[in-house]
Amino acid sequence: MGRFRWAMGSGHTSSVPVFVRRLGIAVVIAGFLMAALEGVLRIARFEYRRPNPIIVVPLWNTADQSKRERLYAMYRFHPYWFWEPRPGARVLDCEHERINSAGSRGPGRPQAPERGAVRVAILGDSISFGMGVCWDDTYAALLERELSNVEVLNFGVTGFSAFQGEKLFEGRVLAYHPQIALVAFGAVDELLPATGHDVEAKFRVTSGASPTAVLWHDRLSALRMFQFLDRAFGRRPQRAIEAKAHENWASFSRGARDYLRNQSVPSFERSLARIVELGRSQGVRVVLIGPPRQTKVETRWPWAIEYTAAIERVASRLGVPYWDVRAAFRAVPDSDARLFLDDYHPNVAGHRLYARVLAERIRPHLGDVEARARDSGPRRQR
């Protein structure tokens, strides 16, 4: 009490030092100004996502600046598989549709499936993602409707190589406890020209980054103020990497064989084999898919067929199923015109055929897989 009376009697009205009060006032003012700037930028509809040279995919080259910016905004960097769909991002050409909270397309699903349900995971590139068609017309959505008591999770990502699929399978997909994994790589992304580095060299560069730090950076980048500062002061892509990428793309476009591929055939085979090994270690039945591509792609770049042959070799060597969707497409007269939107991506009719082929192959095995699903692994109770 004596100490209290001394303080009161000394004439001091506060025990908080002056500099602390001034600092507090400065923080409040700075917070107000930042909030005001954020509000102004949002009202002005300012948005900017700086292109990351690691995420540059040749198929995204387009003269339409607005479309290119929307594509970049749909993806975010990841140190292990280079990029992934950004949760909540709008799906291009399907404005009503958004990427789910797990960073994949389709309905969000918990990691543990329903007891007794068969969970099928799809790994692949833009064909599996369903580029150019909306969710209900993708082969993943159609496959789930074709099969009873089956959950289909679509982990296909635009521009993905088998190398990226291997990393994603190990780092995320297995956590969802699939009983079956349909692996569909090798249509085109591996044979496309590398943007500066091939996938293995990219991984040596990116894998040193902390996933946590990358995630926080992406969260901050959602702020318009952060985007404004990034546009004003952010580091620009390295000109040398850009020049090398353009030179490599030009060589590929001329039909030359001496360009640097995104993923070589030997590396492609190693990635497929690693996916099979990872699946077996977790009790997952891995199926290798021979994905479709237009015939004129193989006419212009005949080495595309090297990747199809590599899928068959890996399936034969490791004793896993090989389902040739490419052959099913080729069996349709005038398939290039009837089943494709462009050189690489199936249209709605193509996705329907894709789903029908897979459903016919999966259906005979469902009874056995369902029995295993009831007896093993973590499951949600109904």
Per-residue pLDDT of 118-142, as tens digits, reads 999 999 999 999 999 999 999 999 9
More confident residue, 95 or 276: 276
Instruction: Read off the tokens for 61.
Output: 């080259």
Indicate whether 62 pLDDT > 70.
no
- pLDDT value at residue 336: 95
- pLDDT value at residue 371: 66
SS3 82: strand
Q: Is 150 exposed, middle or buried (CB count within 10 Å of its CB: 0-12, 13-18, 19+)?
A: buried
Q: Can you give the pTM of this predicted structure?
A: 0.81
Q: Taking a C-beta distance cutoff of 8 angstroms, is the pair 225, 34 a contact?
A: yes
State which of 28-37, 190-199, 220-229 shows the largest mean pLDDT: 190-199
DSSP E strand boundaries for the chain? 75-78, 82-85, 90-91, 94-98, 118-124, 150-154, 180-184, 285-290, 322-324
Alpha-carbon torsion (319, 321, 325, 328), positive or negative: positive
More confident residue, 43 or 381: 43
Percent of the chain clearing pLDDT 70 (strictly above): 79
The alpha carbons of the chain give a radius of gyration, in whole angstroms, of 26
Indicate whether 1 pLDDT > 90.
no
- pLDDT value at residue 191: 93
CA distance 187 to 85: 20
Percent of the chain clearing pLDDT 90 (strictly above): 52
More confident residue, 154 or 226: 154
Q: Give residue-wise pLDDT tens across range 320-334.
A: 999 999 999 999 999
Pick the range with the lowest mean pLDDT from 59-63, 69-73, 114-118, 360-364.
59-63
pLDDT band at 303 (very low <50, low <70, confident <90, very high): very high
CA distance 357 to 323: 9
Helix-strand-coil split of the chain, %, nearest 5:
50, 15, 35
CA distance 126 to 93: 14
Give the list of residues 6+ apart from residue 294 with CB closer than 8 angstroms, or none: 335, 336, 340, 343, 344
Domain 53-363 bears CATH identifier 3.40.50.1110: yes
Indicate whether 12 pLDDT > 60.
no
Q: Give residue-wise pLDDT tens across range 150-202.
A: 999 999 999 999 999 999 999 999 999 999 999 999 999 999 988 778 999 98
SS3 222: coil
- pLDDT value at residue 357: 97
The Cα angle at residue 125 between residues 377 and 253, in degrees rounded to 5: 160
Q: What average pLDDT does the segment 100-125 reach?
A: 92
More confident residue, 251 or 83: 83
- Rounded to 10 degrees, what is the CA torsion of 221, 226, 227, 228? 180
More confident residue, 59 or 91: 91
Q: Where are the domains of the chain?
A: 53-363
Q: Taking a C-beta distance cutoff of 8 angstroms, is the pair 273, 205 a contact?
A: no
Specify the long-range contacts of residues 163-166, CB closer than 8 Å, at least 24 apart. 163/199, 163/200, 163/203, 163/263, 163/267, 163/268, 163/271, 164/81, 164/82, 164/199, 165/81, 165/123, 165/124, 165/271, 165/275, 166/271, 166/272, 166/274, 166/275, 166/278
Indicate whether 71 pLDDT > 80.
no
CA distance 265 to 333: 30
Indicate whether 377 pLDDT > 60.
no
SS3 377: coil
Q: Give residue-wise pLDDT tens across range 239-289.
A: 666 667 777 778 887 777 888 899 999 999 999 999 999 999 999 999 999
Q: What average pLDDT does the segment 364-369 reach?
A: 79
pLDDT band at 72 (very low <50, low <70, confident <90, very high): confident
Mean of all residue pLDDT scores within the chain? 84
- Rounded to 10 degrees, what is the CA torsion of 38, 43, 45, 48? -10
CA distance 212 to 322: 37
Q: What average pLDDT does the segment 347-361 reach?
A: 97
CA distance 322 to 310: 11
- pLDDT value at residue 66: 67
- pLDDT value at residue 246: 73
Indicate whether 32 pLDDT > 70.
yes
pLDDT band at 214 (very low <50, low <70, confident <90, very high): low
> Half-sphere exposure (CA, 13 Å, Cβ side) for 370?
13
Distance between the two ends of the chain, CA-based, in angstroms? 63
Q: What average pLDDT does the segment 353-365 reach?
A: 95
Residue where the block lists tokens 């007891």: 115
CA distance 274 to 53: 27
- pLDDT value at residue 30: 75
